[in-house]
Structures are given as C-alpha cells and as structure tokens.
Amino acid sequence: MIKRAAFLTLLIVVGFSAGVFAHGVNTETSFHAGVAVVRSTYSPEQPLADALVTIYSPGDRINAWQTGRTDKTGHFAFLPDIDGEWIFFVDDQKGHSKKTAIIIEPDKTESPEPDATDDMAEHDTPGSGPGTFHRIILGLALIFGITGIFYGFRSRQSRKQIHKDI
C-alpha cells in the first residue's frame, strides 16, 4: 500500500515536472534619452543572465539589426535609430524565450508616455512557461493532490484496521 501511494505520488510529481520546471519569461522595458533598456527575468528574483538577444528594426524583420547577450542582471540596452515597432527576442537557449515588441514613437524619444508602454505587445513563444496565475493553480493542485493521496491512504488504513478488529 505504501509502495502504491509512493508510486502514485512520484507519478504525479513526474507528470507535472515539465510544467514545474518551465520558467515563464517576463520582460520590462524602459526608454530614456534614446536608449532602450529591456530587463528579462524568470521571476523578480531570477534574471535571465547571459541570454541570447536578437533585435529586429521596424524596417527589416528578416535580418537581425543587433545581436548580443543580457548581462548578469538580465539587462540589455540598445539605441533605436528610427521610430516604429522594434522586436526584442530573448532566448536563454534552455528552452525559454520571449518576443517583445517595443514601440518607439515620434517626438517621444525622451520619455515615452504611459500609453506607449501599454501598447507594447508581448507574445509568449511556445518555449515560455505558464504565467503566475497558472503556476499558483499548479502549486495548489499539487498540494491538494498530495493531501488527497495521504488522506485516502490513511483512511484506508484505518478502515482495514477496523475490519480486522471486528
């Protein structure tokens, strides 16, 4: 019985492991004095350090305008030379990536309006993991699942013992 419960627990944990170990990549963008800075993170505490960055300019979506790597804090800075929608693509080369559109608007090169930030379209690529809400649900499901297994295991033990006593 113990072996069966342990196997079931292991099966659930392994079954969820793909989701558990998948990181969601988040990006935060700022633009000031002609410099665009993007910070890429798995979570507020865990930056995407040394991740591969590819930037495409508004006029050319095929040839990369610039490539490079994030620093150890997950930051990457570049200087957009024209207005329009720039594509920032970050890839940690471990299966997690994110594409972010950065809109550089005319006459707002000093500091973007809040709306400009809101317009940034962020697209999770297939490599990106679940968002915070899904992770909370995943964690709660695992906790309640394990609780259910132990509850079932314990109540079955109790029932068996009662039958034996009778």
Partner 1 sequence: MHISDGIISTPVCLTATAAAIGLVYLTGRRATTEEIPRMGITGAALFVASLIHFPVAGTSIHLGLFGIAGIILGRRSFPVVFTALLFQALIFQHGGLLTLGVNAINMGTGAFMAWIIWRITAIPEYARAALAGFTGIIVPALLMIAEFRITGYGSAVAVIALIYIIAALIEGGITLSAVVFFRKVKPDILANPVLNCKHEKVYGDD
Binding site for partner 1 (CB under 8 A): 20-21, 23, 42-43, 45-46, 132, 135-136, 138-140, 142-144, 146-148, 150-151, 154-155, 157-158, 160-162
Judged by CB, which is closer to partner 1: 108, or 135? 135
32 DSSP β-pair partners: 35
CA distance 61 to 49: 25
* Least distance in angstroms from the C-beta of 85 to partner 1: 31
* Least distance in angstroms from the C-beta of 153 to partner 1: 9
CA distance 84 to 64: 15
Q: Where are the alpha helices (DSSP H) in the chain?
A: 2-21, 114-118, 132-165
Judged by CB, which is closer to partner 1: 46, or 67? 46
Judged by CB, which is closer to partner 1: 86, or 98? 98
CA distance 125 to 110: 30
